[in-house]
Amino acid sequence: MHVDRTQSQWLIDKREAVAEQGMITAMHPLAALAGLEILHAGGNAVDAAVATAFAIGVVEPAMSGVGGVAAMVIYSHATGRSTVVDGSSAAPTAARGDMFELAPETTTGGMYGWRGTVGDAQNTGYRAPVVPGQPACLLYAHERYGSGRISRAQVMAPAIRLAEDGYPVDPYQAQTIAFAQRRLRAFPETLRTFFPDDGLPPVPTTSTRDADRLVQPDLARTLRALAEYGPSALYEGEIGERLVADLQAHGGVITRGDLASYAVREYSPLQTDYRGFRLLGLSPTSGSMTAFEALNILGNFDMRAMTAGTASALHLIAEALRHAFVDRFAYLADTDMEPVPVEALLSADYARAIAATIDPQRADPHTRAGDAWQFQPAFVGARRAVPASQSAGGEGCTTHINVIDSQRNMVACTSTLGELFGSAVVARGTGIVLNNGMTWFDPEPGRVNSIASRKRTLWAPTPTLVLRDGQPFLAIGAPGGRRIISALVQSLVNVLDFGLPVQAAVTAPRIHCEGPLTEVDGRTDQAVVDALAGKGHQLKLHEENSSSFRFARPGGIRVDPDTQQLTAGVHQFTPAWAMGY
């Protein structure tokens, strides 16, 4: 690969972590340490994932927390069973298709670039949240699939300690708060929570002073109540009363009834086979659906005969992603409210039909959705044509956790607030940063993913577990909006096709393609970029850094099939960390 030695070059990477017993990856070392503390105390992978997820909501508050949503894929090695605990959410009961006044057609809003709404009300402020599902998800998983050796109080203790005692702000957190301050300053409770008394963003360690500490006493009280009373403290108790009262005082639509009726879903994972590996993911309303379709398409090409990062490999990946995303925009929505050809979109026959349309030498930037209904079992007649909900990829402000314990139980858990700091609202007296889950709906009525009362969100998390010959092999996932999907596809191809170690697999330069544009990491060799352009790709290069997140931030843990040794890799530009023993 050509290297231009006439100028400096960033060389930022992380060393792959190796462990014999258990391993955790998280987006911050303090959160990984919380999970490791639970593993050392005798907890299993679920116990550790729950502790890590509560802790990351404290130390990475822009990305996830009690006011967000979450889901996890769980695999029990002893029983060979897998399950999904889904803490995603739905639009409030009072939501309706025209609830947001549309801005002019030329405007866009939110991380997905839908048509804008007046005052950005769909994305920012008191009408943007959906009912939080994160605490219900985590505590349900702990009660049902934890080891039984770690109490609810123990599993939440690290998060409570971090909120109550505080921690020194590092450069990553400081820049995140500073970058978001235009939105945050509009809400006094949010300003009080995350900014020092002088009203300026907190500062990390410098040559002349120690870092500011972020202490969150209101959040600590909320976490203590959840530890003592369980989820009812939020969904039926005083915390929920405060949350709803603050929202409704400012025009919000979530009611006490919405909170009280919230329920975690548990179901079998979405599954597909790729190169003899069994992949376990979430639901048809998640990123797993689109990632698995793209992988099924790639399964028709001899990727193993190619080399990672070459133009020939990236071209096929881009075309497979483009087809899968166009189908996503055309078909996917709440399966309880819209007809969705789930079986067809995941079928080998449909993947072969799509693969047959892909030219290995020429891009098709204007790919159209396939006729998936013709591959749907028991299909009869026609389905109504629904305008697609296509938009921008979005950076997405999310977090991801992987855990594999000494018994080789596996968990992949993704938790999110939606956009950076969610709705930008901290509910008064609770310390809870509220999500902006309404951002996942198209604000224009009449679309497949338009807003409707109690309609489930179509979101992008793609936590994935991989089995090899029925045995634990890989736990992987990422934050990053719909870019999660392209990151997971490429990270999996890097491991399963190209045989890369996990750290190399998740940090290699990537592309993102969900429409006419093929976005390319600026670290990609210029000769490869030129070759992609020669194949007809409409390219846009991005310089990836610690704040851009243009290509998501994957992390994973691999089990060596021969030695059972654990190796882990995480995002190189942020404080993401792997920690084992």
CB 35 within 8 A of CB 49: yes
Q: From the candidates 290, 398, 462, 507, which is the catalytic residue?
A: 398
Residue 43 to residues 46, 284, 531, Cα–Cα distance (Å): 8, 31, 50
> Could you give the 3-state DSSP secondary structure of residue 472?
strand
Q: Work out the end-to-end distance of the chain between its first and last CA atoms, rounded to an integer number of angstroms.
A: 36
User: What angle do the packed helices 152-165 and 217-229 form, to 10 degrees?
Assistant: 170
Instruction: Determine the Cα–Cα distance for residues 222 and 133; give it in Å rounded to an integer.
Output: 15
Q: Known catalytic residue: 208?
A: no
Instruction: Determine the Cα–Cα distance for residues 531 and 313; give it in Å rounded to an integer.
Output: 11
Strands 538-542 and 517-521: parallel
Q: What is the CA 302 to chain-centroid distance, rounded?
A: 29
Instruction: Determine the Cα–Cα distance for residues 133 and 48; give it in Å rounded to an integer.
Output: 19
Instruction: Determine the Cα–Cα distance for residues 39 and 556; give it in Å rounded to an integer.
Output: 18
Instruction: Determine the Cα–Cα distance for residues 252 and 129; give it in Å rounded to an integer.
Output: 8
Instruction: Determine the Cα–Cα distance for residues 36 and 15; give it in Å rounded to an integer.
Output: 19
Strands 397-404 and 23-26: antiparallel
Matching residue, tokens 């792959």: 16
Nearest to 325 by CA among 136, 195, 139, 460: 460
Which residues does the annotation mark as catalytic? 398
